[in-house]
Amino acid sequence: METSDEAAAVLDAVRAYHRSRRTEREFVPGVTEIWPSGAVLDEDDRVALAEAALDMRIAAGRSARRFESVFARRLGRRKAHLTNSGSSANLLALSSLTSHLLEDERLRPGDEVVTVAAGFPTTVNPILQNGLVPVFVDIDLRTYNTTAERVERAIGPRTRAIMIAHALGNPFQAREIAQIAEDRGLFLVEDNCDAVGSYYDGQVTGSFGDLSTVSFYPAHHITMGEGGCVLTSNLLLARVVESMRDWGRDCWCEPGESDTCRKRFSYQLGTLPQGYDHKYTFSHVGYNLKGTDLQAALGLTQLEKLDSFGEARRRNWRRMREGLDGVPGLILPEATPGSDPSWFGFVVTVDPEAPFGRAELVRFLESRRIGTRLLFAGNLTRHPAYLDRPHRVAENLDNSDIATDQTFWTGVYPGLTDEMIDYVVSSITEFVKERGAVAP
Ligand SMILES: Cc1ncc(COP(=O)(O)O)c(C=O)c1O
């Protein structure tokens, strides 16, 4: 699209404004906050937002369509649907499996979905929100993922789907779990919200499941502020996802368009009169979970940096891992064998035998302005919201309980410098030494 002289002048001014605002943040150990995550935004991001605003593209439009097409290609999927968050993407992905269009394959209330107990709540919530039953499997400490064996053993006669997140950027055994899903006639939904740009067995995550989801919240690999995406190569599922995202409508015209099917006034559906406007015909009990062009415009410029962001995440993680290697009292993270993770964070479990607890270590780090986070909810089944909800626990959740008590993570996001990483390493090492932990 052509930019008018006036708009070009405004955008030049935006560039000048961006440069005038740029200040290198001097790092002062113990004073400067080391965030666990954050958005890294540059001049092009600011200009993209300003350009969309100048055009007043306040709803989904050309940037949304372009983002969906570029992002789908990037993840090797035929379709991507932009949403207003990663949680919305999860809700849409799982809800789409209940569609009548899937006929006998559809998930029905009371059917089971295998999922992981220790993680983010909105990987699990759509299961309950659809009247389905989560079957919780445990994780491994070090990878923080479950295993194909655990998933296989958890499958029961009513199990119809598997919905699992790649843990903090570290891929689960996606190839093996996708194979189990195929062999057992189950759907696989891959929550790829924390792992965009990771690989398992040489294949990008988000491309193994029947459906996969992404979050673009600022903590994530690329950001739109708020935002998310559902991806699939199954065109029937894509149609259901779009319908459920857009109020449940039967029509697939883009906002502002009419009659792309050229039959707008020719359908007879339900018990509606012949010719009832297809734009207002609803085939699903849907939602409105759409994103906007402002979000997508930012997403497009962020997407150009996905590779360099991934490199920085990997570099920061390696520096942390090498720096902490051999420090006693800590269980350090490991990539799932066969994977190349674009890490979300650096996860540490305090060894239950260590002469200090997680709470002390976290408090010490926070006192040094080093931001920490927990493994999200830890064991979800222990939270008030889930105590009385129907669920099944497969085997046990022993490691999920250890993660609830002993695990935390610090940042590896691209905004962190070597100096910051080294300060985190030296702070942890100093703390452990003072507490007298010794190597076994
Ligand atoms: C694994 C996982 N799934 C889903 C979400 C939800 O994403 P959003 O915050 O965009 O709703 C998150 C949030 O961080 C997450 O970590």
Q: What is the pLDDT of residues 349-359, one digit of tens each?
A: 999 999 999 99
Nearest ligand 1 atom to the CA of 216 is 10
C-alpha to C-alpha distances, 232 to 75, 86, 104, 216, 399, nearest whole angstrom? 10, 15, 20, 18, 32
pLDDT at 1: 55
Do residues 274 and 400 share a domain? no
193 Cα to the center of ligand 1, angstroms: 6
Q: Find the mean pLDDT for residues 104-118.
A: 98
**Residues 94, 174 within the same domain:** yes
Note whether residue 3 is domain-resident. no
Q: What pLDDT score does 173 carry? A: 99
Please report which confidence band the pLDDT of residue 127 belongs to, taking 50, 70 and 90 as the band edges.
very high
Is there a domain that residue 17 lies in? no
Does 296 share its domain with 317?
A: no
- Cα-to-centroid distance, 356 and ligand 1 (Å): 31
Residue 2 has what pLDDT?
A: 62
Compute the distance between CA of residue 38 and CA of residue 218 in angstroms, rounded to an integer.
6
Q: How many domains does the chain have?
A: 2
Domain boundary among 302, 319, 345: 302
CA nearest neighbour of 375 among 405, 395, 354, 351:
405
Domain of 414: which CATH number?
Answer: 3.90.1150.10
pLDDT at 253: 83
86: pLDDT confidence band, cut at 50, 70 and 90?
A: very high
Residues in the ligand 1 pocket, defined by CB under 6 Å: 85-87, 90, 119-120, 122-123, 165, 191, 193-194, 215, 217, 228
Q: Could you tell which of 125, 194, 205 is best to mutate to test the pocket of ligand 1, judged by most ligand atoms within 8 Å of the CB?
A: 194
Tell whether 384 and 356 lie within a shared domain: yes
Residue 412: phi, psi to the nearest 5?
Answer: -135, 15
pLDDT at 108: 98
Does 297 share its domain with 307?
A: no
pLDDT digits (tens, 9 = 90+) for 255-311: 778 888 888 999 999 999 999 999 999 999 999 999 999 999 999 999 999 999 999
CATH classification of the domain holding 59: 3.40.640.10
In this prediction the pTM is: 0.97
Confirm whether 24 is domain-assigned: no
Quote the domain boundaries for residue 58: 53-302
Q: Of 180, 161, 160, 157, nearest to 123 (Cα)?
A: 161
Contact of 158 with 135, CB cutoff 8 Å: no
